[in-house]
Amino acid sequence: MRTPSISLLAFLGLIACDGGPLPLEAEAHVATTPGNTDKVELIVKAAPGVDITAGGTTENTGESPNRTFLIPKSKMTLGTNMLAVSAMRASLGSKSIGTTTAKIELGPKMVLHVQGADGAPNEGTFTCPGAMCGATSIPYAKSGKMVLSVMSDIKTKLTIEGKSMELAAGAKTQVDVDLVAKLARTPVTQNEDVVFPLMLEGDGAKLTENLILRGNGMTEIAAREFAKAGSGPVMFAGEPASTNPPAAMVVVGAPFAPLVVVGTAKTFADVDLVGIGTQTERKFPCPNGTILYIDLDVKVVNRRTGASVGQKTISADRTSCPPIPTTNPLKSTVREDDTKKVLADTFLKK
């Protein structure tokens, strides 16, 4: 009997190994199940009885055509990740194979977890509503100190409020935040959001995102800080002296708000003057009782120098005597609109 040639045997072997193409699809997204938020869920669609290799492990689909893999984010990098998937099925001397990839972008919202640090001062709280929030609220001190606990699912470098630090995957890092220093860049509007720009760097990627906290904490801190102008200058770090006519001021001590903004300031660094309000009372007798007028005496100082600029008394809103007898005085206070107009006309440039 004639023996087949080597080339013929090789050709027959190729036929035996070729079982045809194997259907294979894969998609990846961040896992949301409890205990797995530090992982990526890789869903692979193939066929029953197929060995699938992904994330360094191999599993057989069994009777199901699909298989799900949980891959730690710590094995990935910041930015674009291409997850390789391969599949093989061998039967009766034939073999089918398939390969594909699943793409996932890992940005700050997908890897960072921010909350208040253990033992951090807690005299007020911000609400933390975003995807990066590891707790629903973050505490701070009235002095402006806030201490964060930041954890990343991957190794990366974090920059926040001018501070940079290396974050190890899965480890908590404490970050001290000076909210008083942040006042210089904080809008004076009534918007209660306070924004902390973040930047993550690693493996050639550089991504930015905003951590947004909500609450009136910055307004309360600003009122506390500007009230100090009554006994001396209140300056921000690196702030130059200003020789321009005053265009904006804030008032503390008014009865209707912890901080009243007068003029054209955009941020708290734009504030030129500070009004320190003190409430004074005067009574007006009526046939059926008494009206108690609560006026506002405002001492105005230059924020940057502490020098006295002047003083103004704003009268409470006029009101009518009570129509029926009453034992309790009818109270009347100053109006916010009157306060802003009187102080702007008196102390700010026209």
Low-confidence ranges of the chain (pLDDT < 50): 1-17
pLDDT at 305: 92
CATH 2.20.130 residue ranges for the chain: 6-106
- Residue 14 pairs in a beta bridge with none
pLDDT at 45: 95
Burial class (CB in 10 A: 0-12, 13-18, 19+), 175: middle
CATH 2.60.40 residue ranges for the chain: 109-215
Answer yes or no: CATH 2.20.130 is held by domain 6-106: yes
pLDDT at 17: 44
Give tens-digit pLDDT for 252-298.
999 888 999 999 999 999 999 999 999 999 999 999 999 999 999 99
Tell me, which fold does domain 109-215 have in CATH?
Immunoglobulin-like (2.60.40)
pLDDT at 189: 79
pLDDT at 18: 54
Alpha helices of the chain — where are they, by DSSP H? 6-17, 108-111, 179-182, 217-226, 336-347
pLDDT at 349: 80
pLDDT at 4: 44
Residue of 68, 82, 76, 67 lying closest to 38 (CA atoms): 76
Backbone angles phi, psi at 177, to 5 degrees: -120, 130
Give tens-digit pLDDT for 331-340.
999 999 999 9
pLDDT at 117: 96
pLDDT at 148: 97
